[in-house]
Amino acid sequence: MTVPRMRSASSGVWIASFLAVCLVPLVSRNTYTLDVLTSAFLYALLALGLNIVVGFAGLLHLGYAAFFAIGAYTYALLNLHAGISFWIGLLPAAVVAGISGVLLGIPAMRVRGDYLAIVTLGFGEIVRIAFTNLEAWTGGPNGLLGIAHPTLWIPGVGRYDFGVSSAPYYYVAVVLTGIVTVVCLRMSTSRVGRAWAAIREDELAAACSGIDTGQLKLLAQGCGAAIAGIAGAVFAAKQGTITPDSFDFILSVMVLAMVVLGGLGSVPGAIVGALVLGTLPELLRGVAQYRMLLFGVVLIVMMRLRPQGLLGTVQIRQELRPQRTPRHVTTPA
């Protein structure tokens, strides 16, 4: 099969999957189901953004929830104090979160590996504590209330308020996930994506080959943070209220687990991992006492049987494959 045919087949799978997902509200009008799926697709947005940082560029990040919070609070403050609508507020939420990612990346460029993880972990906690203590701006532990829900002008119908309905937010999350997916797929095969892969595999070799590793790592941090900011704005608009407790360290670990489960560097893997871990706790709600235990067991078994993730790339499979010790070969005297 030629490359154009493979690309067309892959595009057909993506389009069919997108259309099938869009038909879910028409098949099932259960509000609870749509709420769970909406949250799962918001997780997919976060996983796609973190996959750029961890999967594409190989930068371990343990404070990703901070950018989610920055996007949510940016839209909430603009809406409450300036009357900015949701559709306009998406842009500043992404920009502010993206700039925050770049600003974090500047001092963190000097450290790598475990030290980078510690720096990002500290950043995530600093942001959460700052939002808790800046009571005059953020409402402190009580958070911000009365955030306006999105509205949409429909020809022939007029102004439509999303309110607390589940279906509109589901479609917003699905469409945004689709757009970000296309961007990530294009980036992964672009010149920048190949440079990120080179940095992930061997940063020193990439630098020696002429790649500006510093600028590209900042770009990865900014792009990943901007996507989290968009997800934060959707979350704030859907909930109508946000508190600092919604953006704790557990959320960062959960999103990282989604990326690892799906397969580092795999765009479809990030989505599948988010959908699995986003819905699995709800599917196990019938055994509430053992839900988290079963949740952990599933992750352990998955990492034991398929450490490269559900849709891990070929490179990751090769890296995780045990090295065989060559047998000693004796030569005749």
For the ranges 50-54, 166-170, 307-311, the lowest mean pLDDT is seen at 307-311
* CA atoms of 112 and 1, how far apart (whole Å): 41
What ranges in the chain are assigned the alpha helix state H? Answer: 3-22, 24-27, 31-50, 65-82, 86-108, 114-133, 135-138, 166-188, 191-201, 203-208, 213-239, 249-262, 267-283, 291-305, 314-320
Mean pLDDT of the chain: 85
* CA atoms of 303 and 309, how far apart (whole Å): 7
pLDDT tens sequence across 174-187 = 999 999 999 999 99
Going 43 to 256 to 243 to 45, the CA torsion angle's sign is negative
Query: Can you give the pLDDT at residue 53?
Result: 93
pLDDT exceeding 70 applies to what percent of the chain? 89
Number of residues in the chain = 333
Grade residue 309 by pLDDT with cuts at 50, 70 and 90. confident
pLDDT tens sequence across 18-50 = 888 888 888 877 888 899 999 999 999 999 999
**64, 272 in Cβ contact below 8 A?**
no
- Lookup: tokens for 111: 């450290």
Instruction: Answer whether 0.95 is exceeded by the pTM.
Output: no
* CA atoms of 204 and 139, how far apart (whole Å): 46
Q: How many CA atoms lie within 13 A of 68 on its CB side?
A: 30
